[in-house]
Structure 1
């Protein structure tokens, strides 16, 4: 009897999590991710040929699947402009003293700045006891002409901001009012000042890749399946390898979008409209999802499944994944309810200190109230391959990844049909 019980247990453990007839095949998953993470994609960096090549490949796959273009588009590419400002020469004088160039940086969309009196710009004093990051964040939202005089105790965080913004800042909109000039100079009341800056403004094109399956009974309501296809491109060589292939980040998520699109296209969709989108420019500021969010009514989006790094088993073991912002809606609970009877489980994000809910494209839609969550399996606290040249196809567990995609398909059933509607995100509570 004991041997019989052991045999039964072994047989149960060996049963696949999902039926082999689920319609999501490992061979398909393997082909897509191997292509997206290949060296000839050159790391899929935004504004570079590798990203364009990846977008072309995704577009061709959407055509093969038979998705419809998004309303208002004639094809699958949702192309838009962004504006990159590269800083040129900047001169700042305060009370007759010239601030050295290593103690100045500018955030602007303007080709030129020329201030010489208080009527041209506000002056904000950032003293030792103030929060540099909070003041900077508030001013970047307000975007009024402002000169900041910053106490040297903020040197470390000042340098971090300067290193980032000195590379040039990108905006979805053409230059509007409002430039910020940061100068590390003793915060003095009522200073006299002169500011001169010249910048180069470039107009650049980016493209999301978007397709849809129209619904029937609730076709005005949308369910989004998304991932970002861009990565970080070419890095300093490590052991002769300089290509950051981004296999897990986020060719894995993009592969899931394609596999799910192929799967759901074969089903009879009598519920809500399904949108499949591969976002551009997540790695450089989330501009793809920002533009996409402006092209639809967020009140009509009932859920967003954003797949972010699902290429390896999670800390909870095989056949598991986790959901960012699990506590913000009942999205995760609905997913798990739809997985009853399987061995697969979804868990709350185990890395709350990493703020992962805010670090992917779901955050843009969540700030509009959409139940928008990222699904992941990455062990981000110990992942040494993240943003490196070693994030390659060979590091992935394709079988486990396929099970995650199957789980997403099954867990979405009641949301797609219209039976379940996740609660909305309280946007006022978000950072």
Structure 2
């Protein structure tokens, strides 16, 4: 009898263990669902999904209807929507930016040589013979003993700065974070800091490698209407980029002619250098105040419904813009119809699983392409208590030529979400790696960043390095082609006959498996001690 009872207990133990293992893989994220939603969201019918357009109305209603069909509840009280008040500024810069000085003057052409815009909601802004001062990387970082603005009264002046930060390609791992971009390297930070310093304007010098995208992305993404969230923070009159070729012309007639300005900028003792040049440009704006929407849907938990797993993806893209090769609709199939479709496919899988002890939330956020605006608004106005939010799994720009051996984690080493991802990847016979292109700053370029800022451990990952059937070199060529010719271009379209969905499905299955595990346990993943976000969690 004792042996029989032991046998029954052993069988029960094994069964329970297998049940837990099998239940993670019991429900498959449906590849047909993924493809159908990408095809719809990236169709011309959705007009490029730009906020404040008819494309937004179509998109958010489509998402609301699809969540409702799946049986998900409204995530914001009785509503599937969270209103995000924004201001649309349609700026028309002067055709020329005039650079003048005693050693020569020249004009830069709009779009070809420069872009200019403002976040000030006023009808007219300008720089009129504003003194140009080179400010290195435009960084003030006390923890590194770094101040590129020191010693100058910036009122009435325009700073000229480099993109990225001093550690990029420096061969010095102790300089900032070495080749890994810090937030100081992002264009968003550079405009914020110049405004804090009291400057009138800022010019960022474009360089393809440290920016991680070509001038064509600046041309298409930084012209036309832009969206902002109202803020009491200081703002510049003019925010602008100039091409690398234009920067060379500028330095050739400046007080720094012949100087290696990139090397100078890496020196900890660098101080800003007046260029003996002035800049003039003006912008006329049309102002429109309106409300965009985050779409929020909820699967309530059974036992711990006040603890939440949040899946996020941005629904927006660039709408209708500059015509390229006869096409003016920026469909955004990869960026980010893929992630938005992923939300719906994962929601479908959760409903089929019919087992979530914690609540699972799906948020399709607005305004990511304009500076992570929808997730920033959510972070400032959270619907679900951040301290009770277990984790965020963010899905952005899934694309692959097939199934991948790797799972590349952007922001690897930040939190225990790495361990959850590793466990799920190993069950798919995959391995995890840190982002091999950390210098491109992807950690700061998608919506998980705003969840991290309020202390919520976040996972942002995808297969991106080595294919099961394709080599590392082939995958790199594939990714490089996307960034150069498809990213933020009208060519980011969906073709059901040529788009390979198997790699996307594999990633989404992993995200489901991670979320499923989190939703059926009582543990809260922690930030590692070295993470700058640990304090926010406390």
For the structure 1 residues 83 and 101, does the alpha-carbon distance in structure 2 shift closer, same or farther, using more than 3 Å as the test? Answer: farther
Matched, 1:273 2:363: no
- The alignment covers a number of residue pairs equal to 400
Matched, 1:122 2:224: no
Aligned to 2:173: none
Alpha-carbon deviations, 1:125-147, whole Å to 9, x = none?
A: 748xx769889945625746543
Q: Is the 8 A contact 1:107 1:179 kept in 2?
A: yes
Q: Is the 8 A contact 2:227 2:367 kept in 1?
A: no
Alpha-carbon shift at residue 222 of structure 1 (Å): 1.8
Distance 1:149 1:20 in 2: 52
More off after superposition, 60-69 vs 33-42: 33-42
Within 5 A, what are the aligned runs for 1:238-257? 238=325, 240-257=326-343
Alpha-carbon deviations, 1:243-274, whole Å to 9, x = none?
A: 33322221111111111112212334453221
Within 5 A, what are the aligned runs for 1:316-327? 317-318=403-404, 320-327=406-413
Matched, 1:409 2:409: no
Aligned to 1:3: none
Distance 2:107 2:333 in 1: 43
Alpha-carbon shift at residue 203 of structure 1 (Å): 0.6
Aligned to 2:61: 56
What RMSD, in angstroms, separates the aligned Cα atoms of the two structures? 4.5
Q: Is the 8 A contact 1:106 1:179 kept in 2?
A: no
SS in 1 for 2:369: coil
Matched, 1:286 2:372: yes
Aligned to 1:147: 200
Runs of 5+ consecutive residues of structure 1 not aligned to the other structure: 1-16
Aligned to 2:230: 173
Aligned to 1:381: 480
For the structure 1 residues 125 and 359, does the alpha-carbon distance in structure 2 shift closer, same or farther, using more than 3 Å as the test? Answer: closer
Q: Is the 8 A contact 1:105 1:162 kept in 2?
A: no
SS in 2 for 1:328: coil
What is the TM-score when the length of structure 1 is the normalising length?
0.74
Q: Is the 8 A contact 2:191 2:239 kept in 1?
A: no
Distance 1:114 1:45 in 2: 27
Alpha-carbon shift at residue 41 of structure 1 (Å): 1.9
Aligned to 1:26: 31
For the structure 1 residues 208 and 393, does the alpha-carbon distance in structure 2 shift closer, same or farther, using more than 3 Å as the test? Answer: farther
Within 5 A, what are the aligned runs for 1:298-377? 298-313=386-401, 317-318=403-404, 320-377=406-463
SS in 2 for 1:251: helix
SS in 2 for 1:83: strand
Aligned to 1:36: 41
Q: Is the 8 A contact 1:126 1:132 kept in 2?
A: no
Q: Is the 8 A contact 1:80 1:206 kept in 2?
A: yes
Alpha-carbon shift at residue 225 of structure 1 (Å): 0.8
For the structure 1 residues 162 and 101, does the alpha-carbon distance in structure 2 shift closer, same or farther, using more than 3 Å as the test? Answer: farther
